[in-house]
Amino acid sequence: MGYHSIAIPGYEKEDYFQMLSNPKEEIQYNAICVLSDMTNSVWLDEDTMKGKPEYWRDLKIYEKIYPMMDSGNSWISSAAIRHIGMYDYNQEKYINAILQNNNPSLNVQLVIGYNYSLRENDILADPALLVKKATFCFNHPSWLIRQSGYKYINKKTAHQFEEKFKQDYISTNEVYTKYQIITILGKHLCDSSFDFLINQYITTKDTILQKLIISLLPEALNKQQALNWFNNHMKETEMILDSGFEFNRNEGDIYLDLLILSLNKGWDPTRLKTSMISSDPEVSKDSFPLLFPAYFEFIHNYETSDTLNAKQTEVMNLMRKKIATTPLINKQWKEYEKKHLRFLLPKQLIDEQMQITAKYNEALTSLYNRYNTDSSMYNSYLKDLKYLKIELSTKRVKKIKQH
């Protein structure tokens, strides 16, 4: 539904506010639409605006339009829902109000679905209302509204639809419905749903569906169940890693377990590439194995190695073994290391910088004393020479080629 409206020359917000009480419903609808175009939600959303004239004016409009969400006229109702959804103000009350709106109008339900999807509203929404809303949509005669029902299912509520969706999956011939159902089952991948997905993966000839299922398996609630399966299906394990692995993951993340599993089974980590992206045409796009930067910091002790969790450290030790025992990988690593290796600052440079810094501090101290500045200024602006020297002594920089 397009929210088309007619703006009246010379009319301001207050004039359109008066039109909200007009007995003609078309005029009410038009006023809501124009006010939506004129409104900046910042007046209610920002605490610093509270109490200002603009705040009270927009609050008055908000409170007038809010009950119009329940209008029997679907044009007015959907326009009001759209308008109120512009605000973060009172968002929890709003979200739970629209979830309870079972107006059968297509326009109303589509705007509810759209506004619910605008933000991360799962935290604010009452799970019981989400279940009711999804059920209402799935039972609606409109195809569009039935499709919108899937968006109300999250990790908190997915388990309540598992058996229904498994039956629907088996009975439907609609490919898009199968994709939607599989995605929802992945939100609460319990043991039985994991087995269901595996069975579909084995029996289907739809390669898109197979890729979708593989991407969901790492989300299994029973991580050991997933690891046992991946341990016997290395092709699928490599598919997960090749689809976009990030080393910077939590220790409890199954992806680190899959990486360790693969490295122990002989997986070639140089297959997984990344590149330096730059808009500067003179900067070459440097492509290298994704794990090389992490391993580089690990062996050269570049600040981050002491922050690695146990599984990340295990990955790095496996990389060390892989590089040492595989000539081709070792060659690639040596090229990367040579290109990115950095060196400690020369002692003479450090000494000269400390001399300059000492003179700067002495002059700055004299300046503060002359103006009787509070002693806290020393802590804020004067450098501690001892700690600076330690930092410089451990700092590594890349050598610049001499021309």
Query: Residue 309's pLDDT is what?
Result: 86
Instruction: Identify the residue whose tokens are 């799935």.
Output: 138
pLDDT score, position 40: 77
pLDDT of residue 143: 96
The pLDDT value given to residue 283: 43
Residues 6 or more apart whose CB falls under 8 angstroms from that of 2 comprise none
Which H or E run includes 274? strand 273-275
- CA–CA distance, 374 with 382 (Å, rounded to integer): 13
Collect the ranges in the chain with pLDDT lower than 70: 1-2, 48, 244-245, 274-286, 301-306, 342-345, 375-403
What's the predicted TM-score (pTM) here? Answer: 0.73
Tally the C-alpha atoms within 13 A of residue 289's C-alpha that lie toward its C-beta. Answer: 23
The per-residue pLDDT for 146 is 95
pLDDT at site 278 = 46
The kind and range of the H/E element at 288 are strand 287-289
Tell me what pLDDT residue 291 has. Answer: 87
**Token pair 């609609």 is at which residue?**
174
Q: Is the dihedral of CA 70, 74, 76, 82 positive or negative?
A: positive
**Number of alpha carbons in the 13 Å side-chain half-sphere of residue 326:** 16
Note the pLDDT of residue 147.
94
pLDDT value for 102 = 94
Return the pLDDT at 296.
Answer: 86
Q: Could you please report the per-residue DSSP string of 64-119? A: HHGGGGG-SSHHHHHHHHHHHTT--TTHHHHHHHHHT-----HHHHHHHHHHHHSS
Q: Give the pLDDT confidence score for residue 387 in this predicted structure.
A: 63
* pLDDT per position as a tens digit, 323-363: 999 999 999 999 888 888 766 667 787 778 888 888 888 88
pLDDT for the residue 321:
94
